[in-house]
Structure 1
Amino acid sequence: MNSSSGHDMTSHGGHGGARPGGLSVSESGYTLDLDSTILSAGAQAVTFRVTGPDGRPVTEFTPEHEKELHFIAVRRDTTWFQHVHPVRDEKGTWSVELTLEPGDWRFFADIHPVGHDGTMTLGIDASVAGRYDPQPLSEDTRTAHVGEYTVTLDGELLPGEASDLTLTVSRNGRPVTDLQPYLGAYGHLVALRVGDLGYLHVHPEGEPGDGTTEPGPGITFMAAAPSGGTYRLYLDFQHEDVVRTAEFTVRTTAPTPRSDAASEAAHEHMSHRHNGHAHH
């Protein structure tokens, strides 16, 4: 399967930095249908279907990044992020084990139904019973610690404009140069807009085995923010057969109006960067 190019901002709800995905339970006749939107806390199976324009469960999907469906679960205070891969039966019912804390959650299904032009991200709310202790949003954070690993984020998320984000992985102070492929890439990045959990989903530039992409320590993504605001970024990476998640908070502001000359110069600069002339 071919991974989506890092330059393709139309996939996974990116829409060229315009409207993010995951804001609707239904799109183009496809609907995310949970068996129950009220759940108990703890580890449990969550079951759902994706119904098509004919009202029936969809059973044919084009794999994207090695999976027919990517399922993202996150509590609405942006904690307890989980990226999992459910199993589908022949009738079109998906099931997956989640560990849920009390509170309000958002579930996302990232899919490419056969016959539909491109991927889509559907989103639905669920409530988990129990005492809800929402956590305050972290400050703008560019360094994440995951056990022995440290991941640093370089670059800016720009509203309506594609830009490079580089995440660099080290372990106990030493660069990690033997990252393992995960979902057809050396890292998997999800970005959510704080406030409505609008969903951006991009993959790194390059892919394992292309002759130029190194297995660390840096993983470069191209992304565009749909607006100014605060975003939560979640990087999944695999090392020594374990997938880990590093979390970041990034604040971005809407661009200030520029003169035509300045805008043209900036556009020219971005064109060079996207054509592979960027020097990091």
Structure 2
Amino acid sequence: MLKPLITTLVALVILGAWAGPAWAHGRSGEADVRFAQTIAGMEITVVVRASLQVPAPLQVDVVAHAPGRGGRIDLAIRPVEGGRSSSGMVRVEAGSPGMYPVVLSVDRVGPHELEVRAGGERSVLPFAVLVPQTPLWEVVVYAAFACAAVALVGALVSAALSRRLAAAGFAGGVVVATVVAFTAGLLSPWFAPMVPEGAPPASRDVMLGRPNAQPVIAVLPGEPGPGSEFRLRVELFDGSTGGPVDDLVEHHAALSHLVVTNQDGSYFHHVHPIRTAPGTYEVRLRAQEQGRHWVYAEFERADAGGQLVTGEFTVGGPKQAADGVPTVTGAASGGVPVTAPAQPEAGRPVTVTLDTGVASLQPWLGMAGHLVVRSQDGGFLGHVHEARSMVPGSQRVPDESVAAYAPKLEFTFSFPRPGRYLMWIQYAKNYEIVTVPHVVEVRGTP
């Protein structure tokens, strides 16, 4: 009789270790915070590692995907309401993609600001320091385990002393405690998740939702010339109050994503602007081709879901003839994407496969790869992730330092209508971002 009880207790210990994550605006208390940033000519991801307790040291990793000329990056973390600030710096080597760590510190949970400075640019990124709390069902399970263990020892001692009545009572306690632990473990998926310490309080917006942000997209100067540097600015306003939208949350490892292309696709940038003021995001780019350019901004408001907004600008000078074959301004390598079926049809799923020729790939923006698709006329933009690297929201995002993905990338996409589409596949190879362009003709569905 004792052997089955012991086996059951061991199984329940393993079951109890599966503590569900606690979510706050889509982030668990055990999740790292990631901010992709395009700053000072560098494409970096700042990773703030999760804290299991506070006060404590805070590990911060700066992942340089496109270090450019490199340089010093200053980082500072400060609580929004009182408390002590902490600062540090890393020096990114020119032409050396990789991970650059620094250790800061925090002395309290709750809302904080991460300040990133480099090359005369400054970005202030809001986030919350969270500490996970033990779920109620886990407390019940472990308490029941403890009671069962005590009762089991009492039953063994009583049996050794030939005290049958006491032994029977302790044995009954073992059974009851085991049943309680087993029941709590089985019902754990139905327990409300524990809100991590430091998470913002729930508000009525969770139930009512928030309106879409209204964008103002502009370039400074208003019409840059070929080869000149310009600033692309995205300002977001609340549709109901008219005030700046300053409640963006981490969305695929960034507060906002920008895709900038010209008409024929020969100019392509997937960048992550810095937050220069509440509701204002900017990035410095260099014009290359004359003519019309499209801007697509993707972001997510807290309790409002994702949103895609668009704009456009013109690079001055005479227009050049377009050959319709997209190229890229950054690194490009790898094989040629293959679609299945070979002749895609509008409205039907298409599999896009790319053999990178790399033994193992690292994640970028939480995924093994990204597929960006734009219609020839610029009226449509699609963005999907590599299918086999997508993980449920309850799982931890893979670490950027781990090269664990297979050489082949696979995407599933449905083109909305017939026509010519430009596509770019992006992935990380030894921390460096690789972009592979392609063109596909989509026919109508018979």
Partner of 2:309: 122
- C-alpha change, 1:225 and 1:214, in structure 2 (3 Å) is farther
1:155 to 334, 340, 363: 340
Return the letter of the residue paired with 1:39.
Answer: E
1:177 paired with 2:351, answer: no
**TM-score by structure 1 length?**
0.70
Partner of 1:203: 385
Partner of 2:254: 67
Q: Percent identity?
A: 21
1:255 paired with 2:445, answer: yes
Partner of 2:187: none
Q: Is the 8 A contact 1:168 1:216 kept in 2?
A: no
Q: Is the 8 A contact 1:32 1:109 kept in 2?
A: no
- C-alpha change, 1:40 and 1:126, in structure 2 (3 Å) is same
2:376 to 174, 183, 194: 194
Partner of 1:6: none
3-state SS in 2 of match to 1:150: coil
In 1: Cα distance, 2:404 partner to 2:298 partner: 27
3-state SS in 2 of match to 1:181: coil
3-state SS in 2 of match to 1:206: helix
1:133 to 320, 330, 336: 320
In 1: Cα distance, 2:427 partner to 2:212 partner: 34
In 2: Cα distance, 1:76 partner to 1:57 partner: 31
- C-alpha change, 1:77 and 1:147, in structure 2 (3 Å) is closer
Q: CA deviation at 1:208?
A: 7.3
Partner of 1:216: 406
Partner of 2:235: 49
Alignment gaps of 5+ in structure 2? 1-25, 28-210
3-state SS in 2 of match to 1:89: strand
- C-alpha change, 1:216 and 1:194, in structure 2 (3 Å) is same
Q: CA deviation at 1:106?
A: 0.5
1:98 paired with 2:281, answer: no
Partner of 2:223: 39
Return the letter of the residue paired with 1:188.
Answer: H
Q: Is the 8 A contact 2:261 2:293 kept in 1?
A: yes
- C-alpha change, 1:240 and 1:214, in structure 2 (3 Å) is closer
2:436 to 246, 254, 268: 246
Return the letter of the residue paired with 2:352.
Answer: L
Return the letter of the residue paired with 2:258.
Answer: F
Return the letter of the residue paired with 2:423.
Answer: L
**TM-score by structure 2 length?**
0.45
Return the letter of the residue paired with 2:236.
Answer: V
Q: Is the 8 A contact 1:208 1:214 kept in 2?
A: no
In 1: Cα distance, 2:254 partner to 2:345 partner: 29
| Bigger Rg, structure 1 or 2 | 2
Q: CA deviation at 1:90?
A: 4.0
In 1: Cα distance, 2:336 partner to 2:370 partner: 13
Aligned residues: 219
3-state SS in 2 of match to 1:77: coil
In 1: Cα distance, 2:362 partner to 2:353 partner: 17
Partner of 1:232: 422
Return the letter of the residue paired with 1:152.
Answer: P
In 2: Cα distance, 1:147 partner to 1:187 partner: 14
In 1: Cα distance, 2:410 partner to 2:425 partner: 11
**Structure with a larger share of its residues in helix:** 2
1:112 to 285, 300, 323: 300
Q: Is the 8 A contact 1:62 1:114 kept in 2?
A: yes
Q: Is the 8 A contact 1:77 1:134 kept in 2?
A: no
Q: CA deviation at 1:62?
A: 2.6
Return the letter of the residue paired with 2:340.
Answer: G
Q: Provide the alpha-carbon RMSD of the alignment.
A: 2.7
- C-alpha change, 1:148 and 1:189, in structure 2 (3 Å) is closer
Point out the more displaced range, 214-223 or 75-84: 214-223
In 2: Cα distance, 1:35 partner to 1:242 partner: 29
Q: Is the 8 A contact 1:103 1:134 kept in 2?
A: no
In 2: Cα distance, 1:128 partner to 1:221 partner: 33
Q: Structure with the greater relative contact order (CA < 8 A, sep ≥ 6): 1 or 2?
A: 1
